[in-house]
Structure 1
Amino acid sequence: MNFIYDVLINTKEKKMKLKEIYNSNKPIISFEIFPPKAQNTDELNHKINDLFEELRILSEFNPAFISVTYGAGGSTRETTLDIVTKIKNNMNIQPMPHFTCVGSSKDDILEYLKKIESAGIKNILALRGDPPKGETKFVKPEDGFGYANELVEFIKSNTDLGIAVAAYPECHPECCSLDKDIENLKRKIDYGADVAITQLFYDNSCYFEFIEKAQKQGINIPIIPGILPITSYSQIERISTLSGCKLPAELSRKLAENKDDNEAIKQIGVEFAVKQANELLKSGVSGIHFYPLNKAFAVKTVLENLKIQEKV
Structure 2
Amino acid sequence: MSVPAMFDHYPAPLFASAAGDVEVSFEFFPPKSDAAMASLLATADSLASLGPRFVSVTYGAGGSTRGRTEEAVLGIARETGLAAAAHLTCVGASRAEVDAIADQYWHAGVRHIVALRGDMPEPHLPYAPHDDGYANAAALVAGLKRLHPFEISVAAYPECHPDSADLSADLDNLWRKVDAGADRALTQFFFSADTFFRFRDEAAARGIKAEIVPGILPVANVGQLRRFAGMCGAAIPPWIDRLLDGLDERPAARQLVAVTIAAELCAALYAGGVRQFHFYTLNRAELTYAICHLLGLRPAAQATGTIHPR
Q: 1:52 aligns with which of 22, 28, 41?
A: 41
The residue number in structure 1 matching 2:281 is 292
One-letter code aligned to 1:247: I
The residue number in structure 2 matching 1:167 is 156
Say yes or no: does 1:33 pair with 2:22.
no
> Which segment is superposed worse, 238-247 or 176-185?
238-247
What is the CA–CA distance in structure 2 between the aligned matches of 1:236 and 1:75, rounded to whole Å?
Answer: 22
Q: Deviations over 1:210-258 (max 9, x none)?
A: 0111010011111000001121232223333333322344334322365
The residue number in structure 2 matching 1:82 is 71
**SS of equivalent residue, structure 1 residue 304:** helix
One-letter code aligned to 1:233: V
Equivalent runs, 1:19-168 vs 2, <5 Å: 26-37=21-32, 44-134=33-123, 136-168=125-157
The answer on whether the counterparts of 2:41 and 2:79 sit within 8 Å (CA) in structure 1 is no
> Which segment is superposed worse, 253-262 or 270-279?
253-262
**SS of equivalent residue, structure 1 residue 109:** helix
State which structure, 1 or 2, has the greater radius of gyration over its C-alpha atoms. 2
What is the CA–CA distance in structure 2 between the aligned matches of 1:79 and 1:251, rounded to whole Å?
Answer: 33
What is the CA–CA distance in structure 1 between the aligned matches of 2:115 and 2:210, rounded to whole Å?
Answer: 16
Q: How many residues align?
A: 284
Instruction: Output the TM-score relative to the length of structure 2.
Output: 0.86
The answer on whether the counterparts of 1:3 and 1:304 sit within 8 Å (CA) in structure 2 is no
What is the CA–CA distance in structure 2 between the aligned matches of 1:297 and 1:97, rounded to whole Å?
Answer: 23
State the 1:134 CA deviation: 4.6
Q: CA RMSD in A?
A: 2.1
**SS of equivalent residue, structure 2 residue 277:** strand
What is the CA–CA distance in structure 1 between the aligned matches of 2:227 and 2:153, rounded to whole Å?
Answer: 26
Consecutive unaligned residues in structure 1, runs of 5 or more: 7-25, 38-43
State the 1:60 CA deviation: 2.0
Say yes or no: does 1:214 pair with 2:203.
yes
One-letter code aligned to 1:168: Y
> Which segment is superposed worse, 134-143 or 105-114?
134-143
State the 1:140 CA deviation: 1.3
State the 1:307 CA deviation: 4.2
One-letter code aligned to 1:292: T
The answer on whether the counterparts of 1:222 and 1:286 sit within 8 Å (CA) in structure 2 is no
Q: Deviations over 1:249-306 (max 9, x none)?
A: 4334322365554333222210111111122122222410001101111111111211
Q: Deviations over 1:174-228 (max 9, x none)?
A: 1111111011100111111110000111111111110111010011111000001
What is the CA–CA distance in structure 2 between the aligned matches of 1:52 and 1:3, rounded to whole Å?
Answer: 33
Say yes or no: does 1:197 pair with 2:186.
yes
What is the CA–CA distance in structure 1 between the aligned matches of 2:70 and 2:222, rounded to whole Å?
Answer: 32
What is the CA–CA distance in structure 1 between the aligned matches of 2:40 and 2:142, rounded to whole Å?
Answer: 33
Instruction: Output the TM-score relative to the length of structure 1.
Output: 0.85
What is the CA–CA distance in structure 2 between the aligned matches of 1:132 and 1:289, rounded to whole Å?
Answer: 25
State the 1:85 CA deviation: 1.2
The residue number in structure 2 matching 1:20 is none
Equivalent runs, 1:212-291 vs 2, <5 Å: 212-256=201-245, 258=247, 261-291=250-280
What is the CA–CA distance in structure 1 between the aligned matches of 2:197 and 2:16, rounded to whole Å?
Answer: 26
The residue number in structure 2 matching 1:14 is none
State the 1:2 CA deviation: 6.8
**SS of equivalent residue, structure 2 residue 294:** coil
The answer on whether the counterparts of 1:3 and 1:305 sit within 8 Å (CA) in structure 2 is no
Q: Deviations over 1:53-84 (max 9, x none)?
A: 11121112111111011111111112211211
What is the CA–CA distance in structure 1 between the aligned matches of 2:43 and 2:61, rounded to whole Å?
Answer: 23
The residue number in structure 2 matching 1:185 is 174
What is the CA–CA distance in structure 2 between the aligned matches of 1:2 and 1:283, rounded to whole Å?
Answer: 14
What is the CA–CA distance in structure 2 between the aligned matches of 1:216 and 1:193, rounded to whole Å?
Answer: 18
